[in-house]
Amino acid sequence: MHITALASLLTLPALSLAAPTKQHPLGSKHSSPYKPDHYDPYDRKHDSVGEGLHPEPYRNGKGTSVLGPRNRMREQQDPDMVRPPSTDHGAMPAMRWSFADSHTRIEEGGWTRQTTVRELPSSKEIAGVNMRLDKGVIRELHWHKEAEWAYVLSGEVRVTALDSEGGSFIDDLKEGDLWYFPSGHPHSLQGLGENGTEFLLVFDSGGFSEESTFILTDWLAHTPKAVLSENFRIPPELLEHIPLSEKYIFQGSIPGSIEEEKPKAFKQSKLNFTFNMLDVEPQVGSGGQAKIVDSRNFPISKTIAAGHLDIGPGSMREMHWHPNADEWSFFIKGRARVTIFAAEGTARTFDYMGGDVGVIPANMGHFIENLSDDEPLEVLEIFRSDRFMDFSLFQWMGETPQRLVRDHIFANHPKAAKEFLRQVEGGKKDVIKEQYYKSPEHEEAIRRLEGGGDGGEGWAEEL
Ligand SMILES: *[C@@H]1O[C@H](CO)[C@@H](O)[C@H](O)[C@H]1NC(C)=O
Ligand SMILES: *[C@@H]1O[C@H](CO)[C@@H](O)[C@H](O)[C@H]1NC(C)=O
Ligand SMILES: *[C@@H]1O[C@H](CO)[C@@H](O)[C@H](O)[C@H]1NC(C)=O
């Protein structure tokens, strides 16, 4: 690194104090952080989509321009692929897929598209389906070997199901509600309201295919009419005009209220197949909140656990890992940066936005930063497990003997050790942390670091 580069690195803390509120690290709206002369030893995030920036492969005096063909739209959505943080290293399979890259199956009044192990090979434990049903449109009566968990993204939907003891279930759901159908349980979905519904379906196997479910009309079309006649006790002549193949998604008639629709044979199931996720008491962090749903509060959901995260202004889902399952994340709104740490010095950074899917294998350390200045970041973390489980790095550091922590990280820097230990000493797990960069707390720490300000001497002493 040459001299001017070094000089600009050394003056960074002072520079970052100059504009205390707005969050435009180094590269402001006026100077792109993707210029050859841009230096940032801290690898700060940039919202290239939100700020209309064009990522270029320049980093701290290295790199050069792109001469060949390029897909600028893709590069803008993946700024940390074009210029990865200097901390990224080693090889990692793809951990991002967008539903925009999935094939859309278009049917009467609806559509569906899926992200499975075929689209995203790292999506081994979970497959996702994004489906839209207009008003009155039906996803026909069917079942499958995988269990199905779902989150309503928009509109209203009626679900019906049958349990294995002959109990029936009908419910109407709206945005933020969930359902869960255990493996093999037959069910149906129908769009309600003015514009029907859109939802995310999650299956507890990456190999699931929305094309290979067991569908009522498909079965009837592939059974001899003589057998149907025996089974349903009607003359085979009356079966001449049944569908010749599956209907799958089709326009249905508009349903009445649940009460009006209940058949004579209706026996209320003892199971509760649906749940209102947004009513869950949140875990409140300093920069947002997390709502956790698993078999502890939604007992039927034995194979899927989930967290719904709202990540506030400039905030971050703190550094953590999940010991019990791969994370399958679905980004509902906003833009995010995530670095996945895979041990053996391997780390890679991925960027996500609304409609994208991410996979983070079990035990790999990660965080989720909100990149956007104007769009909220809302994300679902989904696991093939009966329990949501995570480890917070911050909490671990706080609950470990301080001398041990200091010896690991700050053996040669007692001043830094004291500041670090002062922060973690409460051992408090803060699932979503508010922005520290340029906060009064950050500025105060820098004043202490520079020797001035209150309490500077206090923590600068030897431990
Ligand atoms: C239905 O969609 C139309 C057109 O996009 C929109 O104007 C209307 O507000 C929607 N209605 C509801 C209830 O969301
Ligand atoms: C199912 O659970 C919801 C809470 O999520 C509750 O409001 C509803 O009454 C329950 N339904 C049945 C049939 O137990
Ligand atoms: C995400 O962070 C940006 C600032 O980086 C903020 O303006 C936006 O409101 C945040 N999202 C939420 C949900 O608050």
The secondary structure of 64-94, three-state, reads CCCCCCCCHHHHHHCHHHHCCCCCCECCCCC
DSSP state of 413: -
Q: How far apart are CA 129 and CA 66, in angstroms?
A: 36
Residues 6+ apart with CB under 8 A from 399: 427
Q: Please name which ligand lies nearest the alpha carbon of 154.
A: 1
pLDDT at 452: 54
The two three-digit tokens of residue 443, written as one number: 């500025």
Query: Is it the case that residue 26 has pLDDT exceeding 90?
Result: no
The two three-digit tokens of residue 131, written as one number: 């489906």
pLDDT at 450: 84
pLDDT at 408: 97
Contact 376, 287 (CB under 8 A): no
Please count the other Cβ atoms lying within 10 Å of the Cβ belonging to residue 332: 19
Residues 6+ apart with CB under 8 A from 199: 130, 131, 150, 151, 152, 153, 154, 157, 189
Residues 6+ apart with CB under 8 A from 407: none
Q: How far apart are CA 101 and CA 115, in angstroms?
A: 9
Q: Is the CB of 208 under 6 A from ligand 2?
A: no
Cα-to-centroid distance, 139 and ligand 1 (Å): 21
- What pTM was estimated for this model as a whole? 0.88
Q: Is the CB of 376 under 6 A from ligand 3?
A: yes
pLDDT at 373: 67
Catalytic residue among 51, 369, 381, 419: 381
Cα-to-centroid distance, 381 and ligand 3 (Å): 19
pLDDT digits (tens, 9 = 90+) for 361-403: 999 999 999 997 667 799 999 999 999 999 999 999 999 999 9
pLDDT digits (tens, 9 = 90+) for 144-153: 999 999 999 9
Contact 382, 149 (CB under 8 A): yes
141, amino acid identity? L
Judged by DSSP in three states, 206 sits in coil
Contact 5, 61 (CB under 8 A): yes
435, amino acid identity? Q
Residue of 272, 274, 278, 297 best suited for mutating to test ligand 2, as the one with most atoms within 8 Å of CB: 272
Cα-to-centroid distance, 129 and ligand 1 (Å): 23
Nearest CA to ligand 2 atom 3: 275
Cα-to-centroid distance, 155 and ligand 1 (Å): 9
Scored b (16 or more CB within 10 A) or e, 218-238 reads: bebeeeeeeebeeeeeeeeee
Q: Is the CB of 276 under 6 A from ligand 2?
A: yes
The annotation places the binding site for Mn(2+) at: 142, 144, 148, 187, 320, 322, 327, 366
Residue 381 annotated to the active site: yes
Judged by DSSP in three states, 247 sits in coil
Q: Which atom of ligand 1 is nearest to the CA of 195?
A: 1
Nearest Cα to Cα of residue 210 among 331, 328, 111, 358: 111
Judged by DSSP in three states, 415 sits in helix
Q: Is the CB of 209 under 6 A from ligand 2?
A: no
The two three-digit tokens of residue 251, written as one number: 């326009």
Nearest Cα to Cα of residue 164 among 178, 149, 180, 181: 181
Q: How far apart are CA 190 and CA 56, in angstroms?
A: 47
Residues 6+ apart with CB under 8 A from 78: 55, 96, 350, 351
pLDDT at 451: 76
Nearest CA to ligand 2 atom 4: 275
Cα-to-centroid distance, 248 and ligand 3 (Å): 40
Q: How far apart are CA 44 and CA 50, in angstroms?
A: 15
pLDDT digits (tens, 9 = 90+) for 413-462: 999 999 999 999 988 899 999 999 999 999 998 888 887 544 434 444 43
Nearest CA to ligand 1 atom 5: 195
pLDDT at 279: 85
Q: Is the CB of 168 under 6 A from ligand 1?
A: no
pLDDT at 24: 42
Nearest CA to ligand 1 atom 6: 195
- Residue identified by tokens 């905030």 is 315
Q: How far apart are CA 162 and CA 300, in angstroms?
A: 13
Query: How many helices (DSSP H) and strands (DSSP E) are in the chain?
Result: 13, 26
Q: Indicate where the chain has its CATH 2.60.120.10 domain(s).
A: 15-92+281-392, 98-275
Correct CATH for 15-92+281-392 of 3.30.260.10, 3.30.360.10, 3.40.50.300, 2.60.120.10: 2.60.120.10
Q: Please name which ligand lies nearest the alpha carbon of 309.
A: 3
pLDDT at 150: 98
Residue of 163, 262, 270, 274 best suited for mutating to test ligand 2, as the one with most atoms within 8 Å of CB: 274
Q: Is the CB of 195 under 6 A from ligand 1?
A: yes
Q: What is the mean pLDDT of the chain?
A: 91
Q: How far apart are CA 84 and CA 149, in angstroms?
A: 34
pLDDT digits (tens, 9 = 90+) for 148-167: 999 999 999 999 999 999 99
The domain made up of 98-275 has a fold known as Jelly Rolls (2.60.120)
Nearest CA to ligand 1 atom 13: 194
Query: Is it the case that residue 75 has pLDDT exceeding 80?
Result: yes
Nearest Cα to Cα of residue 178 among 290, 299, 357: 299
pLDDT digits (tens, 9 = 90+) for 193-243: 999 999 999 999 999 998 899 999 999 999 999 999 999 999 999 999 999
Cα-to-centroid distance, 84 and ligand 2 (Å): 47
Cα-to-centroid distance, 310 and ligand 2 (Å): 24
Higher pLDDT, 9 or 391: 391
pLDDT digits (tens, 9 = 90+) for 275-321: 998 789 999 999 999 999 999 999 999 999 999 999 987 899 999 99
Contact 75, 61 (CB under 8 A): no
Backbone CA torsion sign across 182, 184, 186, 188: positive
Nearest CA to ligand 1 atom 2: 195
Residues 6+ apart with CB under 8 A from 106: none
| pLDDT band, residue 16 (cuts 50/70/90) | very low
- Strand residue runs (E) in 72-185: 96-98, 104-107, 110-115, 127-133, 137-143, 148-162, 168-174, 177-181
Which of 105-109, 177-181, 428-432 is predicted least confidently? 428-432
pLDDT at 11: 38
Q: Please name which ligand lies nearest the alpha carbon of 268.
A: 2
Please count the other Cβ atoms lying within 10 Å of the Cβ belonging to residue 266: 13
Indicate the burial class of 365 (C-beta count within 10 angstroms; 0-12, 13-18, 19 or more): middle
Q: Which atom of ligand 2 is nearest to the CA of 268?
A: 13
Q: Is the CB of 154 under 6 A from ligand 1?
A: no
